[in-house]
């Protein structure tokens, strides 16, 4: 079945960068967008950006522009999200989620990764 498997938890110091991954399986990788979403402890979901694995085009939330970079590797069906200049407020669970890029279910967000806890602490 469709799976999005994310990399393991990270602990970073303020000012550092983190790069997390999301490996897709059991579906045509380039036919679906991938969203990145984060959730700070006890808070709601926050949309960070989206990447189209067919071509690599990205759109980032204004809040993260200049600090986030989303990339992909079609050979391994993996998308990456790198966040730089980390601060304590970036401590959160980071999720990837798949969204249809065409057809009757265009823009439907369906499968989610398990989430990655990124802790920023000195």
Partner 1 sequence: QTVVTQEPSLTVSPGGTVTLTCGSSTGAVTSGYFPNWFQQKPGQPPRALIYSATNRHSWTPARFSGSLLGGKAALTLSGVQPQDEAEYYCLLYYGGAWVFGGGTKLTVL
Using CB under 8 A, list all residues that contact partner 1.
35, 37, 44-47, 50, 59, 61-62, 95, 97, 105-115
CB nearer to partner 1: give 16 or 40.
Answer: 40
Cβ distance to partner 1 smaller for residue 79 or 97: 97
Alpha-carbon gap, residue 48 to 67, rounded angstroms: 11
Shortest CA distance to 36 belongs to which of 25, 47, 45? 47
CB of 4 to partner 1, least distance (A): 9
Q: Looking at beta carbons only, is 15 or 59 nearer to partner 1?
A: 59
Show Cβ contacts of residue 3 under 8 Å, excluding neighbours closer than 6 positions.
24, 25, 26, 111
* CA proximity to 13, closest of 85, 79, 69: 85
Q: How far is the CB of 115 from partner 1 (least distance, A)?
A: 5
Least Å distance between CB 14 and partner 1? 25
């Amino acid at each position: 079945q469709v799976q999005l498997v994310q990399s393991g938890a990270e602990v970073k110091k303020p000012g550092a960068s983190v790069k997390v991954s999301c490996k897709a399986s059991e579906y045509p990788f380039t036919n679906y967008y991938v969203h990145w979403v984060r959730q700070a402890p006890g808070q709601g979901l926050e949309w960070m950006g989206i990447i189209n694995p067919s071509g690599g085009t990205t759109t980032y939330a204004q809040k993260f522009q200049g600090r986030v970079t989303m990339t992909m590797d079609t050979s391994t069906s993996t998308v990456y999200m790198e966040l730089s200049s980390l601060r304590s407020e970036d401590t959160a669970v980071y999720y990837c989620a798949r969204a249809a890029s065409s057809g009757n279910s265009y823009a439907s967000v369906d499968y989610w990764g398990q989430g990655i806890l990124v802790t920023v602490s000195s």
